[in-house]
Structure 1
């Protein structure tokens, strides 16, 4: 399975790096491929290191203005013109999407992926990995959107909230019929 992970390129503390390492190990040990933003810094590097150490493949999709931060030993590295092209390429290469902790860029990626899914422009499973309760507020906001009629489909059809990497991987494998 090609698992696209959207996450921060920032250096973060153990509350966020420990769950990332756990999930990265599960990706690699399961023989899956990480499709990620391609950066060799911050949480992106943590993910790539963990997947590679556990035997998984790395497919990076960087962008011209960040190409200097691209991981040199990825199995495959694409450089796109802009962020919109990057998101489209990552989605196209993914069988599933996991959104980990991040800033405005990660939030932009998450909302676009969910908007596309809402309109049936993709049917791939989407997981928000809620490390250390990072997405508790967003989950509450999505629940309010659903309760007040802003979502035309049930929230559970758009996204699965996982509290840890094991839960995220179990959901993805079940969605893809992996036993």
Structure 2
């Protein structure tokens, strides 16, 4: 399975790095490929190193203005002209999506993926990985949107909230019919 991960390229605290490394190892050991933003920095690098170290495949999708920071040693590296094309390529190459901790770029990617799913423009499973409670506030907002009628379908049909990588991967493998 090609698992697209949206996450930060920032260098972060161990409370985010250690769980990311464990999740990356699970992806690689499970024989899955990582589809990611292609960066050689922050959590993106942690994920790529972890998947590669555990024997997984790496498919990077970078963008022209960040090409200088692309990860060396990916099995495949695509460079797009802009962020919109990058997001389209990430989704096209993925069988499933995991949203990890990140900043405004990650939030942009997350909301676009959920909006596309809401409108039936993709049916790929989406997991919001809530490491160290990072997305507690966003989850609360989504629940309010659901309760007040802003979502045309149940939140559970849009996104699965996982507290750790084990739960995230188990959900994705279940959705794909893979026996773990």
CA shift at 1:19, angstroms?
1.1
The DSSP-based 3-state class of the residue aligned with 2:98 is strand
Paired with 1:44 and 1:38, the residues of 2 have a C-alpha distance of: 7
Mapped to 2, the partners of 1:113 and 1:10 lie a distance apart of 21
For residues 143-179 of structure 1, what are the alpha-carbon distances to aligned partners after superposition, in whole Å with 9 as ceiling and x for unaligned? 0000000000100000000000000000000000001
- CA distance in 1 between counterparts of 2:21 and 2:82 reads 28
Q: Are 2:155 and 1:163 equivalent residues in the alignment?
A: no
Q: How far apart are 1:40 and its partner, in Å?
A: 0.4
SS in structure 2 opposite 1:121?
A: coil
Residues in 2 aligned to 1:135 and 1:5: alpha-carbon distance in whole angstroms = 15
Q: Runs (4+) of structure 1 moved beyond 4 Å? A: none
Shift of 1:30: 0.4
Q: Does 1:87 align with 2:87?
A: yes
Matched with 2:124 is 124
2: CA distance, partners of 1:63 / 1:99: 19
| DSSP-derived class of the 1:161 partner | strand
The corresponding residue for 1:12 is: 12
Q: In structure 2, how many angstroms separate the alpha carbons of the residues matched to 1:68 and 1:6?
A: 19
TM-score (norm 1): 1.00
| Alpha-carbon distance between aligned partners in 2 of 1:32 and 1:69, rounded to the nearest angstrom | 24
Name the Cα RMSD after superposition: 0.3
1:18 Cα shift? 1.0
Partner residue, 1:112:
112
Gapped regions of structure 1 (runs ≥ 5): none
2:23 equivalent in structure 1: 23
TM-superposed deviation, 1:72: 1.5
Equivalent pairs, count: 179
CA displacement 1:12-49 (0-9 Å, x = unmatched): 01110111011100100000000000000000000000
Give the equivalent residue in structure 2 for 1:137: 137
Runs of 5+ consecutive residues of structure 2 not aligned to the other structure: none
Number of the residue aligned with 2:103 = 103
- TM (normalized to structure 2)? 0.99
